[in-house]
Chain A
Amino acid sequence: MSNLLKGVPASPGIAIAKAYRLEQDESVPQRKAVEDSAAEKQRLKEAVEAAKADIDRIREQTLERLGPKKAEIFEAHLFLLDDPDLIDAAMDQIDSEGVNAEYALYEVASGIMEALRSMDNEMLRERAADVKDITGRVISKLEGREHSALYELSEETIVIAKDLTPSDTAQLNLEFVRGFVTEIGSLTSHSAIMARSLELAAIVGTGTEASEIRTGDTVILDATLGEVIVNPSADQLEEYSVRMREYEEYKIRMRSYLERSSVTTDGVHVELASNIGGIDDLEKVLANGADAIGLFRTEFLYMGRSTFPSEEEQFTVYKHVLEKMNGKRVVIRTLDIGGDKELSYLQLPKEMNPFLGLRAIRLCLDREDLFRTQLRALLRASAHGKLAIMFPMIAVLSELREAKRILEEERVRLAQEEIAVSDTLEVGIMIEIPAAALAADVLAKEVDFFSIGTNDLIQYTMAADRMNESVSYLYQPHHPSILRLVQLVIQAAERHGKWVGMCGEMAGDSAAIPLLLGLGLHEFSMSSSSVLPARELVTRLSKDEWSGLAEQALGMSSQQEVLDFVNQQLRSEA
């Protein structure tokens, strides 16, 4: 066998230690006929009580080690042991079929696990692991066995298992366990989630190959990439020892930027913000210390359903995000649908060129009813935080005026209904069409801010579909022509005292950030995981110096020339 295994990196980190193989009992309880079903039910009842006592002990340990949030899973386990579809159903089976408790419970649990595993939702499939964990424990009690021996580990170890149940993971002795590898599982498994909060390196879903790792094998776990090396060579050991140390240093360095301000060496404050596509992403925004949310895509509210979301539903979601951000700015983009993003319940004619068709604000102005619903929800939510509303795909001034007219009508209507709306609400537009960039001085008078959407701006400027591989070489964020457009937009906004942000992938790119800073960009909105590295970079740049360097880059003849120039400057400063 090859000594390299690949899996899903579930919790980042690098570890080197001896393997400990967790043997898991996969045997099926034997079916036995019982005469006295009342006694059998009593036996099950006692085993359930004993299992509950165990789980309660693990819950208390977890509460102490990881806090109430992580202990909740064991409250849920205790609750499941009271579920009528589980224990009561097993009791019924003992009565109706005259079988032993182990078999009855196994049968009932298997049916439930099968139903859960057939779900098309990963989170639900993972719940089968909870059922397995608790019924396995009850069956162990019935058979008079110990459930798990993980807490007995007493030397530096990487745990190898088919799967780790939540109770297995919670009992890992962090003094000795350096990481774990499981054959099954995914990013949303409890074991993966717990590994992340324990900051324990973990790789899941390697497939059956990991079953060949034996207790005592030396294992390198690179959970930054998702690689496991079994019995490495001396060279590999040396290489990874260095990488492990570097990674630890990097982690500590990044963490030190969590509480830092995003300010340059010459004292210029910028905003490093997160892009989000739903409420699920909020946790990462907060964990990475973002200064704001620079782009909240609202499409998820509309997708995967059969009717439009109501005003009330949208209001609940927007309010939730604003409250969670606790006074930090949240830029919410109105519906950007149409073209290639379809909604089954919105009957739109097929178009020859969806990217150049009826989409985003064009669609919203055409379907005023759905636009008004979203605007009302946004206006109502504005009272609960620092909201900025952003219209996508504005090409000409008349579209902006029309969108603002409708917004104003809804604002007046809400005032008449005596519903609170924030009076510091900001209204801005995305700059993603070259026509809007070129007329930025005209548009700037009538907005509070611009946010440059580089993904679309680049493809419209280069006239190249970024999904089309044969022309993807034209997707060049650092090309001087793109940088010139960005400069044009920022200068126009500055003349009117408005701020400019950017919410494309370019905003988080370490080779673009210095130039954008130099051009005067105020807000950089990126995926949450890029925020801390971006802050580390910004805090060692001088805006004044980079405005001169950016000016030089604008005069260059190719993207490559710009990239070489930026990288050389960054190296000489380091």
Chain B
Amino acid sequence: MVTETFTVIHPQGFHARPSKLFVEKAITFPCKVTLFKGEKKANGKSTLGLLTLGIAAGDEIRLETDGEQEEMALKELGQMMTKIYEE
């Protein structure tokens, strides 16, 4: 299991489009992907899970990957949390 904390900068937060792209990426990895925002956590392979975390710009999100390819998943998914998306 590996984990790292990222700050989301996409101005609209992590909503419909970024969440969808994130999940599309996450499901390509065999490992478990979990996101933590404060006390709340969500399945990184579920858009609805991500949405219900209510991630806003500036939020610090802990990303945890567990299982096969966890290192690569952490790196690539981490990059997706810290970029700006075309809305």
Write the residues of chain A forming the contact surface with B, with a CB cutoff of 8 angstroms. 72-73, 76, 79-80, 83-86, 112, 115-116, 119-121, 123-124, 127, 130-131, 278-280, 283, 300, 304-307, 309-310, 312-313, 316-317, 320
B15–A306 touching, CB < 8 Å: no
CB pair B84–A116 under 8 Å, yes or no, is no
Q: Within the assembled complex, what's the spacing in Å between the Cα atoms of A119 and B12?
A: 14
Collect the chain B residues with CB atoms within 8 Å of residue A130's CB.
16
Q: Is the CB of B48 within 8 A of A112?
A: yes
Given contacts A76-B20, A279-B84, contact A83 B46 (CB under 8 A): yes
Tell me how far the C-beta of A324 lies from the nearest C-beta in chain B, rounded to whole angstroms.
Answer: 9
Closest 7 CB pairs of A and B: A305-B58, A85-B46, A85-B48, A115-B52, A279-B11, A119-B54, A313-B9
Q: Is B78 an interface residue (CB 8 A)?
A: no
**Bound complex: CA of A50 vs CA of B54, how far in Å?**
31
What are 27 A-B residue pairs whose CB atoms fall within 8 Å in the complex?
A76-B20, A79-B20, A79-B24, A79-B47, A83-B47, A84-B45, A85-B43, A85-B46, A85-B48, A86-B46, A112-B52, A119-B54, A121-B54, A124-B13, A124-B51, A130-B16, A278-B11, A280-B12, A300-B11, A305-B57, A305-B59, A306-B60, A312-B82, A313-B82, A317-B9, A317-B11, A320-B84
- Report the minimal beta-carbon distance from B3 to chain A, rounded to whole angstroms: 19
What is the predominant secondary structure among interface residues of chain B facing chain A?
loop
Residues of A with C-beta under 8 A to B83:
316
- Closest Cβ neighbor of A303 among chain B residues: B58
In the docked arrangement, what's the CA distance between A130 and B20, Å? Answer: 13
B69-87: CB near A (< 8 Å → 1, else 0) gives 0000000000000111001
> Taking A280-B11, A313-B9 as contacts, is the C-beta distance between A127 and B84 under 8 angstroms?
no
Give the distance to chain B from A177, nearest Cβ to Cβ, in Å.
Answer: 25
Chain B residue numbers with a CB within 8 Å of A278 are: 11
The smallest beta-carbon distance between A116 and chain B, in angstroms, is 6
- How distant is the Cα of A131 from the Cα of B46 in the complex, in angstroms? 13
Hey, which chain A residues are within 8 Å of B17, CB to CB?
72, 76
Q: Known contacts A83-B46, A83-B48, A85-B46; decide if A120 and B11 are in contact (CB<8 Å).
A: no
- Majority SS at the chain A contact face: helix
Given contacts A119-B54, A121-B54, A316-B83, contact A85 B49 (CB under 8 A): yes
Chain A residues near B60 (CB, 8 Å)?
306
With A79-B47, A112-B48 as contacts: A313 and B11 at CB distance below 8 Å? no
Closest B-chain residue to A316, C-beta based? Answer: B84
A120 partner, pick from B23, B24, B54, beta carbons under 8 A: B54
Q: How far is the CA of A127 from the CA of B60 in the complex (A)?
A: 22
Q: Are A80 and B9 in contact (CB under 8 A)?
A: no
Q: In whole angstroms, how far apart are the Cα atoms of A84 and B42 in the complex?
A: 11
B51 lies within 8 A of A127 (CB): yes
Asked if B46 and A84 make an inter-chain contact with CB atoms under 8 angstroms apart, the answer reads yes
B48 touching A80, Cβ below 8 Å: yes
CB of B56 closer than 8 Å to a CB of A? yes
Task: Name the residue of chain A whose CB is nearest to the CB of B52.
Answer: A115
Q: What mask results when residues 12 to 54 of chain B are scored 1 for a CB within 8 Å of chain A, else 0?
A: 1101110010011000000000000000000101111101101
Q: CA separation between A320 and B48, bound complex, in Å?
A: 28
Residues in chain B near residue A80, CB distance under 8 A: 47-48
Contact indicator A121/B13 (Cβ below 8 Å): yes
B51 touches A116 (CB 8 A): yes
CA distance A283 to B86 in the complex (A): 11
Query: In whole angstroms, what is the CA distance A320 to B47 when docked?
Result: 25
A312–B12 Cα gap in the complex (Å)?
18
Least CB separation from B47: chain A residue: A83
Residues of B within 8 A of A123 (CB): 12-13, 15-16
Taking the nearest CB of chain B, how far is it from the CB of A92, in angstroms? 13
Nearest residue, chain B, Cβ from A125: B54
Chain A residues near B87 (CB-CB < 8 A) = 283
Q: How far is the CB of B54 from chain A (nearest CB, A)?
A: 5
For the complex, what is the distance from the CA of A320 to the CA of B57, rounded to whole Å? 16
Kindly provide the distance from the CB of B32 to the nearest chain A CB, expressed in whole angstroms: 12
| Chain A residues within an 8 Å CB radius of B56 | 121, 304
Q: How far is the CA of A283 from the CA of B20 in the complex (A)?
A: 22
Alpha-carbon gap, A312 to B46, bound state (A): 28
Most buried by B among A279, A300, A304: A279
In this complex, what residue of B is CB-closest to A321?
B84
- Bound together, the chains give a CA A305 to CA B61 distance in angstroms of 12
Partner of B48, one of A73, A131, A279, A304: A131
